[in-house]
Protein backbone atom coordinates (compact mmCIF):
# COMPACT_ATOMS: atom_id res chain seq x y z
CA UNK A 1 0.00 0.00 0.00
CA UNK A 2 1.31 3.46 -0.89
CA UNK A 3 1.99 6.13 1.69
CA UNK A 4 -0.31 9.13 1.89
CA UNK A 5 1.26 12.31 0.52
CA UNK A 6 2.81 14.72 3.00
CA UNK A 7 1.60 18.02 1.55
CA UNK A 8 2.95 20.17 4.39
CA UNK A 9 6.48 18.85 3.90
CA UNK A 10 6.26 19.35 0.11
CA UNK A 11 5.04 22.93 0.56
CA UNK A 12 7.80 23.72 3.07
CA UNK A 13 10.43 22.28 0.73
CA UNK A 14 9.15 24.46 -2.13
CA UNK A 15 9.19 27.53 0.13
CA UNK A 16 12.72 26.67 1.34
CA UNK A 17 13.98 26.32 -2.24
CA UNK A 18 12.30 29.60 -3.20
CA UNK A 19 13.85 31.43 -0.23
CA UNK A 20 17.29 30.00 -1.08
CA UNK A 21 16.98 31.12 -4.69
CA UNK A 22 15.80 34.57 -3.58
CA UNK A 23 18.75 34.93 -1.19
CA UNK A 24 21.24 33.90 -3.89
CA UNK A 25 19.71 36.40 -6.30
CA UNK A 26 19.88 39.19 -3.70
CA UNK A 27 23.51 38.33 -2.95
CA UNK A 28 24.41 38.43 -6.64
CA UNK A 29 22.61 41.75 -7.02
CA UNK A 30 24.47 43.23 -4.04
CA UNK A 31 27.80 41.98 -5.41
CA UNK A 32 27.07 43.50 -8.82
CA UNK A 33 26.11 46.80 -7.17
CA UNK A 34 29.32 46.89 -5.13
CA UNK A 35 31.37 46.22 -8.27
CA UNK A 36 29.56 49.04 -10.05
CA UNK A 37 30.10 51.42 -7.12
CA UNK A 38 33.72 50.39 -6.83
CA UNK A 39 34.52 51.45 -10.40
CA UNK A 40 32.49 54.62 -10.27
CA UNK A 41 33.74 57.97 -8.97
CA UNK A 42 31.51 60.13 -6.83
CA UNK A 43 30.51 63.33 -8.57
CA UNK A 44 29.10 66.50 -7.09
CA UNK A 45 30.71 66.15 -3.69
CA UNK A 46 33.41 68.77 -4.20
CA UNK A 47 33.07 71.86 -2.03
CA UNK A 48 34.09 75.24 -3.43
Coil/strand/helix, residue 46: coil
- Residue 40 is predicted with a pLDDT of 64
Instruction: Find the DSSP H helices in 1-48.
Output: 7-39
- The three-point CA angle 18-29-41 to 5° equals 170
How is the chain split among helix, strand and coil, in percent rounded to 5? 70, 0, 30
Model pTM score: 0.60
Tell me: the pLDDT tens digits for 4-45? 999 999 999 999 999 999 999 999 999 998 888 877 655 556
- Residue 16 is predicted with a pLDDT of 98
- Residue 23 is predicted with a pLDDT of 97
Amino acid sequence: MARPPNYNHERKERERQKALKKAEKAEAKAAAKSEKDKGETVQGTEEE
